[in-house]
Amino acid sequence: MEAQNTQLLVLDSSIRNWVLLPIVLFMFLFGILRHYATIALRTTRKNDKAKLEQAQTLARAQTVRTNANWIPHEAFLERKAFFNQPETGVLNKKIPANTLASMADPNNMVDMMKTNFATIVPNIVMWGWVSYFFSGFVIAKFPFPLTGRFRGMVQRGIELNSLDVSYVTSASMYFLILFGLRGLFSLVLGEANAADDAQLMQQQMMGPAAAMAGPGVDMGKLFEAERDNLELVTHESKLKEAETTLLNSSQ
């Protein structure tokens, strides 16, 4: 029924050999290059010893607080004293105020810029390459029909209203390849291949405590809050009724 609209358009095989396949190959290889460039540029961030110590102390206090009911009452009081005792408590230590904001830390800036470069620059380069050399002619045909709405998007630079919309130019192929290649990259490069994934993994390995202790977080305030929380815990040991629970369940 669409036969009248769909005129058979045959493209020169040179377009396939010198445009379509090179674009796919180039973008594929560029993606792999980006993957390895990201790995090469990645720096293992050095942790500040004092900061890490504070973060671990905080995490420990939180663990004690959330699991308080699993230890006997005396044990809990001992731990609370360790953290909260005036003067000597670990959480009462004076922490020099963190005046450095996150932007002032040069390491952070460099890392951010590297990540941005690794993701944005390749896209700009490829997009420029594709649109500079291969715009203005049809390079492919989608095997599915599109409505006329898409004409301005997929046939940019071709002012032919009679041409079937499923014939597309290099710009729309670029986006299809860009999104479609992700699946292939996950097959070829393995897990966590994109730059942001790698970042995420790094953060996971460092642990939430270390991530929390990033610059710009005022540990003094956090310590104070944790001290209050610990003070407010109503301790009720679950071990007290352990024997009765056991005996009841075995009956």
Partner 1 sequence: MLGEQPQASSDNVYAQDKIAHNENIIYKCRAFGAVVFGILAGVFGLTSLWGLLVYVISSIVISIFLFATLPKLSIDGLFTSWMSILTGGFVQGAMTYVLVWTLAYDIVYIFF
For partner 1, the binding residues in 120-149 under the rule CB under 8 A are 140-145
Question: Is residue 163 part of the contact set for partner 1 (CB under 8 A)?
Answer: no
Q: What sign has the CA pseudo-torsion 82, 63, 98, 228?
A: negative
Q: Could you tell me which residues come within 8 angstroms of residue 220 by beta carbon, excluding any fewer than 6 positions away?
A: 94, 95, 97, 98
Rounded to a whole number of angstroms, the minimum distance from the CB of residue 18 to partner 1 is 11
Near partner 1 by CB under 8 A: residue from 1, 40, 124, 187: 187
Question: Is residue 221 part of the contact set for partner 1 (CB under 8 A)?
Answer: no
Question: Is residue 196 part of the contact set for partner 1 (CB under 8 A)?
Answer: no
Question: Is residue 244 part of the contact set for partner 1 (CB under 8 A)?
Answer: no
Question: Is residue 24 part of the contact set for partner 1 (CB under 8 A)?
Answer: yes
Residue 250 vs residues 59, 78, 245, 246: alpha-carbon distances, Å: 38, 34, 9, 6
Gap between the Cα atoms of 26 and 45, Å rounded? 33
φ, ψ of residue 169 to 5 degrees: the values are: -95, -175
Gap between the Cα atoms of 139 and 14, Å rounded? 10
Near partner 1 by CB under 8 A: residue from 71, 163, 181, 233: 181
Stretch that binds partner 1, among 5-13, 96-104, 216-224, 241-249 (CB under 8 A): 5-13
Give which of 130, 121, 123, 167 is closest to 146, Cα–Cα: 167
Near partner 1 by CB under 8 A: residue from 176, 206, 217, 233: 176
**Identity of the residue, 95 or 192, whose beta carbon is nearer to partner 1 in the bound complex:** 192
Near partner 1 by CB under 8 A: residue from 1, 3, 4, 10: 10
Determine the Cα angle at 235 with ends 233 and 237, to 5°: 150
* Binding stretches for partner 1 (CB under 8 A): 10-13, 15-16, 20-21, 24, 140-145, 176-177, 179-184, 186-187, 191, 204, 207-208
